[in-house]
Amino acid sequence: MSPAKYVGNGDDVQRRGAGKGEREEALKENRGLFLVLLLPSAMGWGKEGHFAICKIAQGLLNKETLAAVRALLPDYADGDLAAVCSWADEVRFHMRWSSPLHYVDTPDFRCNYKYCRDCHDTVGRKDRCVTGAIYNYTEQLLLGVHDLNSEKNNNLTEALMFLSHFIGDVHQPLHVGFLGDEGGNTITVRWYRRKTNLHHASANILVWDTMIIDSSLKTFYNSDLSNLIQAIQSNITGVWFMDSLSWRNCTADHVVCPDPYASESIELACKFAYRNATPGTTLGDDYFLSRLPVVEKRLAQAGVRLAATLNRIFTSTPINVTKLNVLNGDHRTSYSTEIM
């Protein structure tokens, strides 16, 4: 089955590459799983989603940035940023301080995000959320690569891996979900028909983290993640090209700007993730096929914006570092890669 292609403006999309019978047969394979929408402290997009984001980003890095990124990557990554894009999920069990950094909760049903109101952990410590983490690790990289703060001995490799992951997380709509349901964590639904024990490890197979992507791979992409990545890349250079130019931008010469990304995510969570997904709901073809374009566009935006952020970090000159303000005005983070 050939990769699905987008036609039109990128918002009202149609798919090619699967006939009705072929699509229905593929969808039968996806019948199932009794699960929750999201576990905020767990995987933002699952391994496949984070891998796709970092693959897309690496393809958009300029030569100087690519060399700098590869110099910071651990040897086992073999120069591939995607190989470490899920590292932040893998270490969260022994770096427990990092769990609140994967998401930010917002007031129920307001469908908006404000840094000063929302960015804190469960005990109220400010800046302990996904947007705060993005500011923090951007600042660490920016100052570290330009040797502007020799008193701090930050681990720039870990900062790069955290940043790459958290920019992916902030684009997952339910990682900027409601406080009352813990970003969808307490909403129990069915994905088609099959059931599984919520306390088993397989409970991490969650709708917005993995199941929409996994179902799309089986239905449209011949179970090949590279086909999905190529289709998204084609849309970035095709029907989404003009949009992608604005995706890269930050206001006021900032190096990074996760607050608008978080605002987008909560709006999408209200419009798509929460809608028609009340407790006990069975989510089937209608939900899957109408939400998949949202997921794929968020993967694209995350990849484009991660690349743009890294390009600004590694190609800005020291004289421009203060102009390319990472603090975004009214807040800053002070923790490093180890929060005690």
DSSP state of 12: S
Q: Specify the pLDDT at position 247.
A: 98
The yes/no answer on whether domain 27-321 falls in CATH 3.90.1010.10 is no
Rg for the chain, CA atoms, rounded = 19
Residue 38 is which amino acid?
L
67 touches 314 (CB < 8 A): no
Residue 191 bridge partners (DSSP): 283
pLDDT tens over the chain, length 340 residues: 333 332 233 343 334 344 445 444 544 444 444 444 444 444 568 899 999 999 999 999 999 999 999 999 999 999 999 999 999 999 988 999 999 999 999 999 999 999 999 999 999 999 999 999 999 999 999 989 887 665 566 899 999 999 999 999 999 999 999 999 888 888 888 888 754 322 233 343 478 888 899 999 999 999 999 999 999 999 999 999 999 999 999 987 789 999 999 999 999 999 999 999 888 888 899 999 999 999 999 999 999 999 999 999 999 766 566 545 555 444 445 444 443 2
Q: Is the pTM of this model over 0.75?
A: yes
Q: Look at residue 169 and give its three-state secondary structure.
A: helix
Residue 7 bridge partners (DSSP): 14
Distance from C-alpha of 301 to C-alpha of 294, rounded to nearest angstrom: 11
Distance from C-alpha of 291 to C-alpha of 321, rounded to nearest angstrom: 39
Distance from C-alpha of 333 to C-alpha of 129, rounded to nearest angstrom: 10
Q: Specify the pLDDT at position 43.
A: 54
Containing 283, the helix (H) or strand (E) segment is: strand 282-283
Q: Look at residue 295 and give its three-state secondary structure.
A: helix
